[in-house]
Structure 1
Amino acid sequence: MRISWLTTHFDADRGLIKEMTSTDYYEFPSSQPLSEAYGKRTDSRLDSLLHSGHPSVKQAWLARAERLDQSAGMRVPASNAAEALRSYNARIGMSPETESQLDVIEQGAYVVVGGQQAGLWTGPLLVIHKAVTVISAAKHASSILGKPVVPVFWIAGEDHDWDEANHIAVSSEQGVRKLAVARPEGPRTSVSRTALGLEAWEAAISDLEGQLSGSEFKEPMLEKLRSWIGEGVTLSDVFARILAWLFGKEGLVLLEADDAALRRVESPMFRRMLSDNDALEAAYAEAGKQVQALGYSTQAAAVPGCANLFLFRPESQGAGQAGDRVLLYKRDGGFTDKKGEAFWSSDELLALAESNPEQFSNNVLTRPIMQDYVLPVLGAVLGPGEIAYWAQTGEAFRRCGMEMPILVPRMSFTLVEGTVAKHMDKYGLTFEDVAVRFEERKQAWLAEQDRFDIANRFAEVKREFTALYEPVVELAAEVQAGLKALGTTNMNKIVEQIAFLEARTTDAFRKSNEASIRHWDRIGAALWPAGKPQERVLNMTAYWNRYGSSWLEKLLELPYDPNGGHRIVYL
């Protein structure tokens, strides 16, 4: 059963919001009240925190473009940014369309940016959804402004949480299986600096191959993946090459946050973040108080004394080896790591930021400012959690003489395959049934199939037997007190035997409905795996394996939704 919702559509030519009927929309439950209020525009008080306007308002795009023009001198020169991006995109495999977009960036074009941590085979589907939103929002902004707007995907390869990046989940007829690669021995450094051996990559592809069903697209996809792996290749390398392959025709420009060429153009901002750190810390704290004063929770903890910058420890770097990535804290006029094992004076780090900026990286609170320093960002595509913590950065933007870009809620999708849709129709299930009450509906359906009323009839037998047998036990106890324990034990054994027969009968009943139960399990695993939204668990490779590029083309053809929104897409 498909759900029909009334949604809104932005008319770029007339600058109006008009209503249109769209099928297969679903109001996705949100765990972020602030993000939900921003997306739906239900709390005007947020305007003071998120101060560049909402993407559904035409004037917001025009005003942001004007402010970017006025502040051009405060950013990295467009030619320098384009040069760094060009060298990286050429290295990972650049399409002609992306090369053209880099020429446009060099000429000073605005961008729409979204990003995600690099992960195995692109990680969960939400990464794909974010890239689709970046591309759609850039086209939308371009139609309003009448000039090119470039889609850019910011790869957060600088993150060092290997356990978040090293695995995917693939759904098949056999259920959902997790595939992972182990972190090689060495320092706790960024994902982009953690090189994998060829044997580990080959094992990862073998695992993937074994989980995917046979199809006309399987071998070409696996061959493409094999062409990108090798000794010393990182998760970030392959992540970028897949995105370039998937979205090259759309002209998506990729940016690796941990790329040395990019770090060199970021050097002045790292120096500023170090020298002005106390003021930035106060700005984050003040914005956090503002968020709480409006009745919302802060998403990112502004820890007192934290510099909100990471350092790849110079002393832990051996020849050709990446060093540990540690979060910096302020102490005695200088900086230390969390455990206080090392100390750097302010002058030392300022000099290092100038000579070796690749040894620094941002955290979630400083990354938005660095992004705005490097590129003329019209809009930043963000998920619910990201919007919530970006609300804590407004004061820091102001402190740096900047203004926050338009926050663009990420669009999200649930992909429904034909077989799954047929199963849902057969059992009368809506998407909401699957998302909210799936196990309840499944058990109710099973109960309806039980024309024998197995559970109740066995329960009745147990009650009747116990009622008949207990008086006999009491009689035996009257004859001899010691017989009561024997009688009770005997009665319990008989009840256990009845329960055993009930279990065997129930099992036989379930086997008679085995095919239908598999249908139910397939629905759950495909749409709401492990009790979570599909986009947060499943990987794109299973869909590419079954449908080639058609599933992605469907997403790219959908109209842009400035409110984010969740759509059910039938393949």
Structure 2
Amino acid sequence: MNIVPEPLSGGSLLAQDYIGRFEQVSGFYGGNHRDERSWEQRVKWLDHSEGKRISRRALVDSLRSYNEKYNQHDAVHKSLDLLEQDGTLVITGGQQSGLFTGPMLVVHKAITIIQAAREAEKRLGRPVIPVFWIAGEDHDWDEVNHTHVLSADLEVTKIKIDGDEGSRTSVSFTPVEEGQWKQALDELQHLLQDSEFKPEIMNLLRQSAETSKGLSDAFAKLMGMLFGKYGLVLLDSADPCLRSLEAPVFERLIRQNESLGQSYQLAARDITGLGYELQADVPVNGANLFYLFDNKRLLLFRENGVFADRRGFVSMTEAELLAELAEHPERFSNNVLTRPLMQDSLLPVLGTVLGQGEISYWAITRYAFAEMGLEMPLILPRMSFTLIENTSHKYMEKYKLTFQDIYVNLEDKRQEWLSGQNGLDLDQRFRETKESFNQLYEPLLQDLSSVQPGLTKLGQSNKDRILAQMDFLLNKTKEALEQQHSASLRQWELLSHSIVPMGRPQERVYNIFYYLNRYGMSLLDDLMAIPYDDSGAHRAVYL
């Protein structure tokens, strides 16, 4: 396995500056994870603010109950035993519960969390455990109900579980029927190439689905199967047991809602004032809380002391909302701007692992942390990988392509290669022919106008048709060349589909089980062995 740093374009300018030019955006964040003093300051603050968070014992009891159902492993029990002790810190990060774990970036985030916890423990000489926050309270079903694999005939293929179009409840409460699981599993069974590892892989996936009522249950089981042995503790933000512990934090979010809203608005103005785009909505009078009503997760807004949704389903005064919270805490959930506050009110978070989009919107919470009497944790960029298989590597060498060639301008390189196959240099020759034609035809058009003015328009139309016919001939010639070199072009297609599927980074499209099916479960151990890197740099992994 060869690991090569490879820059990837994309992501917001704010996230890029956080990773590459931190001094320009340091004011938006609580600390610089590259600065040793920031680590020491964060640890000191966590030690002195123990009383600001939910009781460790109550939290661990809740996490034990959850992990015993989905993530039973000796290493997880050890992590929870440590978390119960004063002084134990946490590295955390989270993601929505996607189908069969969703895109590979979810696995990369889990790897980063575990690796970062190990590094922090060595650095500080005290226990640091990894916690994965499953965003089960999210309700965007279409974002999590699918995954992609590369089929045997080199097609990027989507596997999807349809949901109830009328439901907007949390993903953790959205049911998946046995027949739906069977259809998705059968489709994956058909799409995955036969391999010596396929029976084991399919068995794991079927085990995760057999007794799961929804995506979050199955997701938690799979994450436990993959990472439980590394001590990764799982937390579902929609877990009713956990939600009851969070009630005092929700109470503060409600009572301080107006001042919190002002803090988000102020941060948003600071961010846009420096020319950055906001990566999350910051509506005026947004309560930044969701309320579950009649199977619908409704975003609340605050107006003249009344909390209501935009569709008119619910309307409550602050006192009524607090009474509802006391009676039904499970009906409340966070949005992207209050979730960071909830996370740090629950856990002794040393650092949080974020993708570039998350790094950007966390900047909006800069003043909200202070409003809640909290300090922003250290922000650790998620490690990012592209897996390059041996066949793809051979084709890269055959066509003299770099990773950047494939990621940035593969189609241009493909056309350049195709045009040069018969020494015809088609694009250049057709361009020169059209230029010569234009030079000869333009004076003729001018002369025609002296004979009869209407001939100029007719001549221009005639010219356009001739040029269009030249383009038509060029395209037909290229099609003939493509047929002549179809076998080689299939290799170019493989490079595209395997490294930049659908024009996107591989980790944002493909499912990890496609690769585990090809290389076995030991591939996960190999990925875990890649040295931890907190620079935010993307790395190509040559298998």
User: In the TM superposition, what are the counterparts of 1:337-348 in structure 2 within 5 Å?
Assistant: 337-348=309-320
User: In the TM superposition, what are the counterparts of 1:362-377 in structure 2 within 5 Å?
Assistant: 362-377=334-349
Q: Residue 405 of structure 2: which of 433, 439, 455 is its match?
A: 433
CA distance in 2, matches of 1:505, 1:166: 43
Matched, 1:222 2:202: yes
CA distance in 1, matches of 2:512, 2:16: 26
Matched, 1:91 2:65: no
CA distance in 1, matches of 2:270, 2:119: 32
Native 8 Å contact 1:126 1:536 kept in 2: yes
Q: Residue 418 of structure 2: which of 438, 442, 446 is its match?
A: 446
Q: Deviations over 1:145-186 (max 9, x none)?
A: 101100001000111111111111112442211111101365
Task: Name the stretch that deviates more: 175-184 or 230-239.
Answer: 230-239
* TM superposition shift of 1:194: 0.5
Q: Deviations over 1:21-60 (max 9, x none)?
A: x9510122133122122222x2425333212x22222222
Q: Deviations over 1:95-147 (max 9, x none)?
A: 11111101111113110010011111111111111111111111111011101
Native 8 Å contact 1:117 1:157 kept in 2: yes
What runs of 5+ residues in structure 1 fail to find an aligned partner? 3-21, 317-322, 468-484
* Paired amino acid for 1:438: L
CA distance in 2, matches of 1:361, 1:518: 48
Native 8 Å contact 1:175 1:522 kept in 2: no
Equivalent residue, structure 1, for 2:450: none
* TM superposition shift of 1:507: 4.2
* TM superposition shift of 1:441: 0.1
Matched, 1:378 2:350: yes
SS of residue paired to 1:339: coil
Structure 1 residues 381 and 459, CA gap change in structure 2 (3 angstroms): closer
* TM superposition shift of 1:503: 7.0
Equivalent residue, structure 1, for 2:444: none
CA distance in 2, matches of 1:446, 1:195: 50
SS of residue paired to 1:392: helix
SS of residue paired to 1:449: coil
Q: Residue 46 of structure 2: which of 56, 61, 68 is its match?
A: 68
Equivalent residue, structure 2, for 1:181: 161
* Paired amino acid for 2:66: Y
CA distance in 2, matches of 1:311, 1:436: 43
Equivalent residue, structure 2, for 1:289: 269
Q: Deviations over 1:221-250 (max 9, x none)?
A: 111111222476211111111111111111
Q: Deviations over 1:402-437 (max 9, x none)?
A: 100001111101110111111101100000001111
CA distance in 1, matches of 2:27, 2:428: 61
CA distance in 1, matches of 2:359, 2:424: 53
What runs of 5+ residues in structure 2 fail to find an aligned partner? 441-457
CA distance in 2, matches of 1:499, 1:150: 62
CA distance in 1, matches of 2:372, 2:479: 67
CA distance in 2, matches of 1:514, 1:136: 44
Q: TM-score, normalised by structure 2?
A: 0.90
CA distance in 2, matches of 1:536, 1:458: 39
Equivalent residue, structure 2, for 1:242: 222
Equivalent residue, structure 1, for 2:448: none
Equivalent residue, structure 2, for 1:5: none
Native 8 Å contact 1:117 1:155 kept in 2: yes
SS of residue paired to 1:30: coil
Native 8 Å contact 1:116 1:154 kept in 2: yes
* TM superposition shift of 1:348: 1.9
Equivalent residue, structure 2, for 1:560: 532
Equivalent residue, structure 2, for 1:18: none
* Aligned residues with identical type, % of pairs: 43
User: In the TM superposition, what are the counterparts of 1:500-539 in structure 2 within 5 Å?
Assistant: 506-539=478-511
Number of paired residues? Answer: 517
Equivalent residue, structure 1, for 2:365: 393
Q: Residue 82 of structure 2: which of 104, 114, 119 is its match?
A: 104
Q: Residue 32 of structure 1: which of 12, 19, 32 is its match?
A: 12
* TM superposition shift of 1:83: 0.8
CA distance in 2, matches of 1:461, 1:309: 64
SS of residue paired to 1:567: strand
SS of residue paired to 2:288: strand
CA distance in 2, matches of 1:310, 1:127: 24
Native 8 Å contact 1:54 1:408 kept in 2: no
Native 8 Å contact 2:101 2:222 kept in 1: yes
Matched, 1:165 2:165: no
CA distance in 2, matches of 1:290, 1:115: 27
Equivalent residue, structure 2, for 1:422: 394
